[in-house]
């Protein structure tokens, strides 16, 4: 249990709703493990109150907050600085209040990469000319595509049910990538999720990432992704984390593919925010344990990833 004192520093999460958020459990476990005088609190903030809430958090000298739905985009005009990742993704998930300035970050892209680096042997496979297929074209896809582009993946195809959204994502992100200081030259293309072209791409890609909600809560629909053509060399990464092993990952595993589940990304995006607020690297395993417990997953289910 955290001991609150006159010196306790506050961090937290703003969103609506926030009651479902697992971040308080995850962050407070890391705070307790380190014995820091911090507390992480949920703040339900309605959309019309966003500006007032941000001003209030700043006035109260809150150290920083996570930002969740529906504020990830709307908060941007209220910031003094925005990181390259957050600019590319077009959304902010972490604020830092520092010396009268508000800094906006997005830790999802780096969280996606760090979770992959945990499986070092898999991450090492992604060197040289890498071809990735990303399923989905929503906010999560944007973070994943940005992460891959920042890590110099050469070709990324975005496959979406509503193909116009994949086209729009490519049209928006490609020029932004070229205009960062990094001058990234990833080739981005878009395709309809059920097309035969996608089957050919899946058959030859090095990395397949699911960012759609398909598979969440065990909904099947694996056939949606034409997995028949998947080769055992392809790394399959599903950012859905409930269940830890989704039907897509199970099907990929049966084909002999290396697989990565979504829990790692969730833990790492939180850990990166934690570091920004406290300047200290948290214990990843403590955060993961707290998350697994709060999600009601058994250790066996989690291990079985
Ligand atoms: P997030 O911010 O988590 O990415 P989102 O912006 O709502 O959430 O995006 C959800 C993604 O999952 C979209 O790419 C969506 O496809 P559409 O753009 O066609 O809606 C995809 N998705 C959700 N349910 C799906 C389903 N049953 N089949 C295929 N794609 C689905």
Same domain, 68 and 162: no
Same domain, 69 and 148: no
Residue nearest to atom 18 of ligand 1 (CA): 162
CATH of the domain at 295: 3.40.50.10860
Same domain, 131 and 23: no
Same domain, 66 and 149: no
Residue 128 has pLDDT above 90, yes or no: no
What are the residue numbers of the active site?
A: 72
244 Cβ closer than 6 Å to some ligand 1 atom? no
Task: Average the pLDDT over each of 19-33, 36-50, 108-122 and give the range with the smallest value.
Answer: 108-122
Residue 106 has pLDDT above 50, yes or no: yes
Can you read off the two tokens belonging to residue 52? 């007032």
pLDDT at position 227, please?
77
In a domain, 272, yes or no: yes
Asked if 200 contacts 133 with a C-beta cutoff of 8 angstroms, the reply is no
User: pTM of the prediction?
Assistant: 0.93
pLDDT digits (tens, 9 = 90+) for 57-97: 999 999 999 999 999 999 999 999 999 999 999 999 999 99
Whole-number Å distance, alpha carbon 9 to ligand 1 midpoint, is: 37
The 3-state secondary structure of the chain, one letter per residue = CCCCCCCCEEEEEEECCCCCCCHHHHHHHHHHHHCCCEEEEEEECCHHHHHHHHHHHHHCCCCEEEECCCCCCCCHHHCCEECHHHHHHCCCCEEEEECCEEEEECCHHHHHHHHHHHCHHHHHHCCCCCEEEEECCCHHHHHHHHHHHHCCCCEEEEEECCHHHHHHHHHHHHHHHHCCCCCCCCEEEEEECCCHHHHHHHHHCCEEEECCCCCHHHCCCHHHHCHHHCCCCCEEEECCCCCCCCHHHHHHHHCCCCEECCHHHHHHHHHHHHHHHHCCCCCHHHHHHHHHHHCCCCHHHHHCC
Q: What's the domain range around 201?
A: 120-257
What backbone torsions phi and psi does residue 135 show, to the nearest 5 degrees? -90, 125
70 Cβ closer than 6 Å to some ligand 1 atom? no
How far apart are alpha carbons 220 and 247 in whole angstroms?
6
Same domain, 199 and 150: yes
Asked if 266 contacts 302 with a C-beta cutoff of 8 angstroms, the reply is no
Same domain, 250 and 198: yes
Same domain, 193 and 288: no
In a domain, 270, yes or no: yes
CATH of the domain at 190: 3.40.50.720
What backbone torsions phi and psi does residue 222 show, to the nearest 5 degrees? -65, -30
In a domain, 115, yes or no: no
In a domain, 2, yes or no: no
Same domain, 124 and 253: yes
Same domain, 49 and 133: no
Whole-number Å distance, alpha carbon 136 to ligand 1 midpoint, is: 6
In a domain, 275, yes or no: yes
93 Cβ closer than 6 Å to some ligand 1 atom? no
Residue 228 has pLDDT above 90, yes or no: no
Asked if 297 contacts 244 with a C-beta cutoff of 8 angstroms, the reply is yes
How many domains is the chain built from? 2
């Amino acid at each position: 249990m955290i001991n609150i004192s006159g010196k306790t520093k506050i961090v937290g999460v703003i969103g609506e709703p926030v009651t479902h958020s697992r971040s308080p459990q995850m962050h407070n476990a890391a705070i307790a493990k380190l014995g820091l005088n911090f507390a992480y609190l949920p703040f339900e903030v309605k959309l019309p109150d966003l500006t007032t809430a941000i001003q209030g958090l700043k006035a109260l000298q809150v150290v920083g907050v996570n930002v969740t739905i529906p504020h990830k985009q709307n908060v941007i005009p209220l910031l003094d600085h925005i990181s390259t990742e957050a600019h590319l993704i077009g959304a902010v998930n972490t604020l830092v209040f520092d010396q009268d300035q508000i800094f906006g970050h997005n830790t999802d892209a780096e969280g996606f990469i760090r979770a992959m680096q945990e499986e070092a042997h898999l991450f090492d496979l992604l060197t040289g000319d890498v071809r990735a297929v990303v399923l989905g074209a929503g906010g999560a896809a944007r973070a994943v595509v940005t992460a891959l582009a920042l890590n110099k993946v050469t070709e990324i195809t975005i496959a979406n049910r509503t193909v116009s959204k994949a086209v729009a994502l490519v049209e928006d992100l490609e020029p932004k990538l070229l205009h960062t200081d990094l001058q990234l030259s990833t080739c981005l293309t878009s395709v309809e999720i059920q097309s035969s072209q996608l089957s050919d791409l899946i058959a030859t890609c090095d990395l397949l990432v699911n960012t759609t909600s398909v598979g969440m809560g065990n909904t099947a629909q694996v056939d949606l992704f034409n997995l028949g053509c998947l080769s055992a060399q392809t790394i399959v990464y599903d950012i859905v984390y409930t269940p830890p092993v989704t039907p897509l990952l199970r099907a990929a595993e049966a084909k002999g593919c290396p697989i990565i589940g979504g829990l790692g990304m969730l833990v790492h995006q939180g850990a990166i925010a934690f570091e920004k607020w406290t300047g200290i690297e948290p214990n990843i395993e403590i955060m993961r344990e707290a998350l697994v417990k709060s999600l009601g997953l058994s250790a066996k289910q989690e291990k079985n990833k």
